[in-house]
Structure 1
Amino acid sequence: MPLLQFSQATGLAVSAYDIKGVRQIGPLLSTRTARFLGTSKLWQEDGPGTAVERLIVGAMAAGQDDAGAEVEELFYGMRICSLPLTRAGERYGVLVFGWCMRDFSSPLACEQLAALVGVPGHTLWNEVRLESPLTDARLATYRELLRTLAGSLDRQRDTIDELNRVSRTRELFLATVSHEMRTPLSALSMRVDLLLHTMRDMPPALQASLMAMRVHVRQEAAMVEDLIDAARTLTGTMSVNRVPVSLGRIVRDALSTVESSANEKRIVFSVTPANHGDNIELDADPRRLQQVLWNLVLNAIKFTSPGGSVGLNIASDANGVRIRVHDSGQGIAPEDLPHVFGAFTLQSQANASGLGLGLYIARRIVELHGGTITASSAGKDLGTSFTIYLPTLHAAMPPILPV
């Protein structure tokens, strides 16, 4: 820690107090004399050194810049100094440092100091006489060094506080706006569906417009749901409701929503094994895992050219199951791979859409299940592969090598 390094470099004893006079750090002791005094009652809770340091803290809290010089005479020439710690312009603590002799001490002064702190005078003298006194010039240099160090620490805390404030504001914004957007979109979707199902002899142009509107509303609703999930992830409130469930059920439910997209692009879609993992039991949230697989497969279809291929392969071992979604699509550049699971990460290709939150949310859902998700790609136009590994209740299916 920086204060310990300062103490070791200068030989000064250093303590950090909060503004109420409670020692938070120290005393940090580096010289033989300081370590010897550390065995005395000097810095004990009811010791004279602690009492003086708290007196200094009280003076600093009241606005004084350095009260150490006023109490040095109480310790027979030991220099005791202080610096305020500030945050946003307010003092929140004090550094008390020094505890070195102003001049070469005498046996008499050491006897008096030893009696005050409860140690043998001759032993203290043997330690003190081997150390150089703390001159005014050295003290001024050390004070400026510590002032710079303290200022750097204060700026770091100010920066962290500001980042935390911005982060909390962002999370609150995401949560509030997402919920406020969800209600009107749901109402609009219901009205469009009602019109499509109840209006007879609707003009073709109107019907086409309503169907297009329904598609756009559903896309917007999906984005809002992603924002809500992202907000829950950021605030640590996302949860999963885990129950015993067949992997096959999850896979089939996920694929049923994307098969039409694959057919429209004439994409060859395959699942290995043919039973979709029916005999693999997971302790999982079916809806959340379906959301993950749906997102991976839909992305694979989206970024694969017409006539390409997308596959889903399942392989199990003694502890878990590996689900691999791979495609022959546009691939991911090596420099982009480390960032694919970040929030608001969008592919740069022309067919990218959405908010770039799907993989960010998918990783969190997989982690909440005790699993992992990874991405790999050989490069541009060489396809992409996403692999999920999840613990299983029963890994009954024999291992299958990934295709």
Structure 2
Amino acid sequence: MIRIAETDFNQVDWNEWRTPLLQFSLASGLVVSAYDIAGARQIGPLLSTRTARFLGTSSLWRDDGPGAAIERHIVAAMAAGQDEADELFHGMRICSLPLTRAGVRYGALLFGWCMRDFSSPMACEQLAALIDVPGHALWNEVRLESPLTDARLATYRELLRTLASSLDRQRDTIDELNRVSRTRDVFLATVSHEMRTPLSALSMRVDLLLHTLQDMPPALQASLLAMRVHVRQEAAMVEDLIDAARTLTGTMSIARVPVSLGRIVRDAVSTIETNANEKRIVFSVMPANYGDHIELEADPRRLQQVLWNLMLNAIKFTPPGGSVGLNIASDFDGVQIRVHDSGQGIAPEDLPHVFGAFTLQSHANASGLGLGLYIARRIVELHGGAITVSSAGKDQGTSFTIYLPSRQAALLGHSGALPPSLPA
């Protein structure tokens, strides 16, 4: 059973109908209008012939005109459940098709307004008197056009039906995709928050046991230390999920303050030095002052998160004895931060997907959820910057380059041009 939309017609984007209906009107020579199910004309009348344009100067389709009254009558019949309704107005054919989406009838298309048979001067005089135009002028237009035969009408009706079905299916598909996307985002955000609380409680209990139990057996201590590592790993993945959810829903934000780049870099480096030492990786920062002289208008915690992620990834995918470096270069407009390594590299076909959500390396040492670079790019973009990746291929290392506007450029409201490259 067809349901009638009571309020949904207010949410229909009628603009998406305008161009297709205009093209149909021009191709068929028919007058076309679109109504919502409440009887309000949303599009039209679209006039593509001399006769139609002449009638458009009359009172026919004005709000209080006889043509508009007939069209509203047809729409009311469709709102009452009628599938199609055709009318005659002084020899002119007015046809209709209902508009239905997801089983809900939300409007109607009215088309036609062409003579069913060859008219006569007397018939044109009678019609002209009703719509306030000269009868002879109407006859001069009508007599030059062919009547709308049953065969032509049937063809045009099917064409318009196909057009309407196609647009409605397209909108149904878009609506479903939007619904799924919203559901996914809400689910991701909810689950992430629900997981954070028990992990925090578990982490506190493990730390409490490690600090309060005296003379615990070495095996128990090793188990608790391993548990703490795993809990922190899980907590980090939950934080990534929360950040990803904020990115997907557009709710991630940054708090900018005047800050020295050197402070951000030093804090980020301090968190990964142990990891580099454990793999005997040579780690270097250029220049030696860590960019202390560079002032940014930025969120230090978020930028530290980006640098930490890039450097930790570089260490993870670089074999023992390799090298990882962080290079900084700046000018008045901005600063470039390049994190490069001598690790496993990235295949050319994988480069376009590096910053996608849930993108995992398929080689050794892959772990986590594949959200770090996805989040990093969003953080950099929120700062008005950009992040790029390059790699010569397998076992040729990888280079990530961040561009950020300087504090002066940010205050002036521009970010400058992205310099072509950084010194090695």
**TM-score w.r.t. structure 1 length?**
0.93
Counterpart CA distance in 2 for 1:283 and 1:310 is 27
Q: Which residue of 1 aligns with 2:263?
A: 249
SS of residue paired to 1:257: helix
Query: 1:37 aligned to 2:55?
Result: yes
Partner letter of residue 163 of structure 2?
Answer: L
Counterpart CA distance in 1 for 2:61 and 2:330 is 62
| 1:248-302 Cα shifts (integer Å, max 9, x gaps) | 1111111111111111111122222222221222111111111111111111111
8 Å contact from structure 2 (residues 118, 143) kept in 1 = yes
Counterpart CA distance in 2 for 1:328 and 1:125 is 85
- Pick aligned residue for 1:180 from 168, 190, 194: 194
Counterpart CA distance in 2 for 1:227 and 1:149 is 42
8 Å contact from structure 2 (residues 21, 32) kept in 1 = yes
Q: Which residue of 2 aligns with 1:189?
A: 203
Counterpart CA distance in 1 for 2:354 and 2:269 is 22
Query: 1:64 aligned to 2:77?
Result: no
Across the two proteins, how many residue pairs are aligned to each other?
396
Q: Which residue of 1 aligns with 2:128?
A: 114
Query: 1:16 aligned to 2:34?
Result: yes
- Pick aligned residue for 1:163 from 162, 171, 177: 177
Counterpart CA distance in 1 for 2:403 and 2:129 is 68
8 Å contact from structure 1 (residues 300, 326) kept in 2 = yes
Distance apart, 1:308 and its partner CA: 1.5
- Pick aligned residue for 1:217 from 226, 231, 245: 231
SS of residue paired to 1:394: helix
Query: 1:5 aligned to 2:23?
Result: yes
Tell me which moved more, 23-32 or 305-314. Answer: 23-32
Partner letter of residue 13 of structure 1?
Answer: V
Counterpart CA distance in 1 for 2:287 and 2:125 is 87
Q: Which residue of 1 aligns with 2:4?
A: none
Partner letter of residue 62 of structure 1?
Answer: A
Counterpart CA distance in 2 for 1:44 and 1:320 is 60
Distance apart, 1:319 and its partner CA: 1.9
SS of residue paired to 1:318: coil
Q: Which residue of 1 aligns with 2:416?
A: none
Query: 1:374 aligned to 2:395?
Result: no
SS of residue paired to 1:233: helix
- Pick aligned residue for 1:95 from 92, 109, 125: 109
Q: Which residue of 1 aligns with 2:310?
A: 296
Distance apart, 1:187 and its partner CA: 0.5
| 1:195-234 equivalences in 2 (<5 Å) | 195-234=209-248
SS of residue paired to 1:307: coil
SS of residue paired to 2:144: coil
Query: 1:144 aligned to 2:158?
Result: yes
SS of residue paired to 2:204: helix
Partner letter of residue 30 of structure 1?
Answer: S
Partner letter of residue 242 of structure 2?
Answer: I
Counterpart CA distance in 2 for 1:125 and 1:258 is 88
Partner letter of residue 222 of structure 1?
Answer: A
8 Å contact from structure 1 (residues 324, 402) kept in 2 = no
Counterparts in 2 of 1:367 and 1:114: CA distance versus 1, 3 Å: farther
8 Å contact from structure 1 (residues 280, 394) kept in 2 = no
Counterparts in 2 of 1:209 and 1:22: CA distance versus 1, 3 Å: same
Counterpart CA distance in 1 for 2:59 and 2:40 is 17
- Pick aligned residue for 1:285 from 299, 309, 313: 299
Counterparts in 2 of 1:55 and 1:344: CA distance versus 1, 3 Å: same
Q: Which residue of 1 aligns with 2:358?
A: 344
SS of residue paired to 1:345: coil
| 1:26-64 Cα shifts (integer Å, max 9, x gaps) | 222222222333333333333332222222111111111
Identity of aligned residues (%): 86
Counterpart CA distance in 2 for 1:24 and 1:375 is 49
Unaligned stretches of 5+ residues in structure 1? none
Partner letter of residue 287 of structure 1?
Answer: R
Counterpart CA distance in 2 for 1:276 and 1:45 is 73
Counterpart CA distance in 2 for 1:146 and 1:247 is 62
Counterpart CA distance in 2 for 1:364 and 1:216 is 27
Distance apart, 1:135 and its partner CA: 0.7
Counterpart CA distance in 1 for 2:353 and 2:59 is 56
Q: Which residue of 2 aligns with 1:402?
A: 423
**TM-score w.r.t. structure 2 length?**
0.89
Query: 1:51 aligned to 2:66?
Result: no
8 Å contact from structure 2 (residues 325, 341) kept in 1 = yes
Counterpart CA distance in 2 for 1:39 and 1:261 is 80
Distance apart, 1:115 and its partner CA: 3.2
Counterpart CA distance in 1 for 2:61 and 2:251 is 45
Partner letter of residue 253 of structure 2?
Answer: S
Unaligned stretches of 5+ residues in structure 2? 1-18, 410-418
SS of residue paired to 2:396: coil
Counterpart CA distance in 1 for 2:265 and 2:57 is 68
| 1:230-241 equivalences in 2 (<5 Å) | 230-241=244-255
Partner letter of residue 329 of structure 1?
Answer: G
8 Å contact from structure 2 (residues 31, 47) kept in 1 = yes
Distance apart, 1:130 and its partner CA: 2.1
Partner letter of residue 129 of structure 2?
Answer: A
Counterparts in 2 of 1:204 and 1:138: CA distance versus 1, 3 Å: same
Query: 1:260 aligned to 2:243?
Result: no
8 Å contact from structure 1 (residues 19, 93) kept in 2 = yes
RMSD over equivalenced CA pairs, Å: 1.8
Partner letter of residue 173 of structure 1?
Answer: F
- Pick aligned residue for 1:390 from 379, 382, 404: 404
